[in-house]
Structure formats: C-alpha cells, structure tokens
Amino acid sequence: MTAFVLLLILGFIGYCASGKSRRLFSLWRIPRPRTRAEVSGDAGESVVDAELRRVLTWLCGEDFYLHPGPVVLHHAPGTAFPTAEIDHLAVTPFGLFVFETKNWVGHIEPGPDADSLLRIAPGGARESRRSPLRQNRSKVAFLRGVMPGMWPVEGFGVFASEQCSLSAALPPTLIHRRDIAYAMRIHMHRYEAKGLKRVNVSAAWHAVLAVADIDPATIEAHRSRVRSKR
C-alpha cells in the first residue's frame, strides 16, 4: 500500500510539472470580479456597436468592417505602456473611424481645458472628467502615421446613455449615439464630393492588423497594465 501511495504522489508531481496541469488549474481560477464601471462601460459599448452596425449597413451595404470587440494598438513598443485600446474601429469606403464610448449619465459641458469635460449629474453634482477625445488623440495620430495618406482616419467620442445630454458648445466630434447616423453620412458625402477613390476595406483592415491585436489574451494584458497604474 505504501509503495502504491508513493507512486501516486510521484505521478501527481510529474503531472503538475506538465502543461496539462496548468491548463486544468486555469479552468478552476476564479474570475476577477467586474466593477460597476466596467459593467456600465460594456453595456454602453454594446449599444454603440449595434447602432454603428445599423448605420454602416444603411450607408455602405456590406462594404464595411466593424470589428466586433476592442482592438489593441501596438503604438509604443518598448515603453511601460506599449498598447492602447480602441472601443470600436470601423473601416469604411470613406475612411477609418475610431470611437471612444462613454456611458455617462447627466449633462455634459466643456471643461476648463480641451482635455476635460464637465459632467453635471441628475442631482446637480458637478465633476470634471477626462474627455474621450483626449483618450482618442494618440490612437488617431498613430493610425494616421502608419496608414497610407489616402485613407483618412477620424476619431469620435460617443455618449451611449439615453440619460445623457450634450451642450451645443462641445466639439462636433463629441456626439450622442443618436447622432452617429448623421455624422457618418456627412463624412461619406464630403469624401465622395472630393472625388476620392474608395478605401479598399479588406486591405485597410489587414493594414490595421499589422500594427494591432484582437487576441483576448493581449487585450487582457493591456487592461491589467491599465488597472495597475490607477
């Protein structure tokens, strides 16, 4: 019996040293609890994704690509924070569009500087928050720098909640979800009015993938780095 138990122990040790055990134990790992902000953010991104898909189908038929989930750009290799996450990336015949979504409730007004916004909650509380245009700036600049010049890259901040209203003094690239159709239609007509060649959607998406990642593990690694600096 003692020899049998010893064999079991040795066998278990060998199994633990193998990759199979690591995969098995990973199945038992308890997921990190999601915060209220993460749950709210995911809900906002879901409704914005649905509206973008509806609008782009209306404008482009099947000639567009909207990635179903976040895209991580490798925009600063070798630095402490080498990646940046895009909430929604749309590739259309009239350009590439980077959308940063916020599911804020309240009235949004300009902040004290171009990088800030003022959110006035339904109860009247006022707080300064970072503008989604500030979050988008480096991502848009990076894509403009690596994409061919004839493929325009534009960025928008989109507010998803029905309980959100926007000041008319905000920049026109800060829009509510209801405004997506009008904003995209304007961009399409302006592009076509210039007589520019249509963007090859497939080629443009593959060009993005040369400097980006959609692998879930890469996305989670990026998010872990972001959480660590908060």
Residues 111-159 pLDDT 10s = 999 999 999 999 999 999 999 999 999 999 999 999 999 999 999 999 9
Measured in residues, the chain has a length of 230
Q: What is the mean pLDDT of residues 90-101?
A: 98
Q: Where are the domains of the chain?
A: 1-30, 36-228
Contact 143, 208 (CB under 8 A): yes
Cα distances from 87 to residues 1, 11, 69, 74, 96, in angstroms, run 59, 47, 7, 15, 13
State the residue for tokens 């055990």.
21
The Cα–Cα gap between 60 and 184 comes to 10
| pLDDT of amino acid 172 | 96
Half-sphere exposure of 67 (CA within 13 A, CB side): 24
State the residue for tokens 């060998």.
14
Q: What pLDDT, in 10s, does the model give residues 7-56?
A: 444 454 454 444 444 444 444 455 666 676 667 778 889 999 999 999 99
The first and second tokens of residue 227, run together, are 């959480």
| pLDDT of amino acid 43 | 86
Asked if residue 171 has pLDDT above 70, the reply is yes
